[in-house]
Structure 1
């Protein structure tokens, strides 16, 4: 029986916080062979880093089968953690690591997939990053207005 190749997914994500902490939002785009799905959400009291990470987690949770996922983010925190730091954090049982609850949720969401992070400069004209930023800011503003 031939092994089926995994789908190649690009997950663009961004987070926003109005105050740090404050109302925040995340926005993302899942892209596969030219098809796109946008998603967004937020929290009343959060930080920018939490929303950056939450955007990735929520995108991974939308995938219905194991995939090869390239996470594209302007958050060096998220990209470096995915590519470099996470294994040592796990070995150290997350000692002195912030947002442990979300990193554990990330590990669970990422488990079926092969995930790699790619950093892009924020607010530099990258169309998908700009759209994710817009989704995240809009959600943060919506939450702020509802408080």
Structure 2
């Protein structure tokens, strides 16, 4: 039976950030399926670290063409905790946080949840800037995306 075949396993590493925060930002992701890799990145001239972290995770999941088992590595506790813990309360409270204020980055949380829905995602947190080779790689890619944006606009460097 086709339903007995396990979904493909994909590993994803994501990162995002901006400098200053808020300010110009970049995000990046590497998707790995067996020996195949795909790199994604982008930038935004006026954003926050959290928005770039969410964009990286959502964009990576949106790049998958069919339902997969996914191990998604992020150095953002905001993303990991939000999607694995906080979202349940937000939904129950009509997208209000514990202080009864609207959830920040609501549209990006909606995008991330929609992107994750067809997949079985194992959300893994990795400590940033701790020598993990793939985390360091996506960090460099996100910085390059942000710097490319700055270079294209004629703005000063970091």
TM over 0.5: yes
**Other-structure match for 2:59:** 58
Structure 1 residue ranges, 4+ long, deviating more than 3 angstroms after superposition = none
**Other-structure match for 1:24:** 25
More divergent stretch after superposition (35-44 vs 45-54): 35-44
More divergent stretch after superposition (81-90 vs 117-126): 81-90
Deviations 1:69-124 (A, max 9, x none): 11101111111112211222122121131100100111111111112211111111
Q: Considering only aligned residues, what root-mean-square deviation do their CA atoms show, in Å? A: 1.1
Instruction: Find 1:108's aligned residue among 114, 118, 121.
Output: 114
* Separation of aligned partners in 2, 1:26 and 1:67: 22
Larger Rg: 2
The Cα shift of 1:2 comes to 3.7
Residue 83 of structure 2 corresponds to residue 82 of structure 1: yes
Please report the TM-score for the alignment, with normalisation by the length of structure 1. Answer: 0.95
The Cα shift of 1:34 comes to 3.0
The Cα shift of 1:18 comes to 1.4
* Separation of aligned partners in 2, 1:130 and 1:42: 18
**Other-structure match for 1:137:** 143
Gaps of 5+ in 2: 154-158
* Separation of aligned partners in 1, 2:38 and 2:83: 22
Higher relative contact order by CA 8 Å / sep ≥ 6: 1 or 2?
1
Please report the TM-score for the alignment, with normalisation by the length of structure 2. Answer: 0.88
Deviations 1:116-137 (A, max 9, x none): 2111111111011000000100
The Cα shift of 1:65 comes to 0.3
Give the number of aligned pairs: 147
Instruction: Find 1:99's aligned residue among 95, 105, 116.
Output: 105
